[in-house]
């Protein structure tokens, strides 16, 4: 039992998968931040435009 625990503690097979998971999570977070920032600014800027268009109808 002790031998299998020692072998498990020194096993590095899954470290590449963890690295890719952390990298993918970081990229996804960055994309979500950009999209949320762009959509909130677009909604704020469209309100005055909507008012001007409605006034001309």
What local confidence, expressed as pLDDT, does residue 29 receive?
97
Query: Under DSSP, is residue 56 helix (H, G, I), strand (E, B) or coil?
Result: helix
* Dihedrals phi, psi of 11, to nearest 5 degrees: -85, 125
Give the CA dihedral 11, 16, 22, 24, nearest 10 degrees: -150
Q: What integer is the mean pLDDT of 8-19?
A: 78
The confidence band for 43, taking pLDDT boundaries of 50, 70 and 90, is low
The answer on pLDDT for 27 being more than 80 is yes
In the numeric block, the tokens 């950009």 are attached to 34
CB atoms within 10 A of CB 42: 9
- The rounded Cα 43 to chain-centroid distance in angstroms is 21
């Amino acid at each position: 039992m002790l031998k299998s625990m020692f072998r498990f503690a020194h096993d590095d097979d899954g470290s590449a998968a963890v690295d890719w998971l952390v990298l993918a999570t970081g990229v996804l977070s960055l994309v979500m931040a950009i999209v949320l920032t762009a959509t909130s600014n677009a909604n704020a800027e469209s309100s005055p435009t909507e008012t001007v268009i409605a006034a001309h109808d």
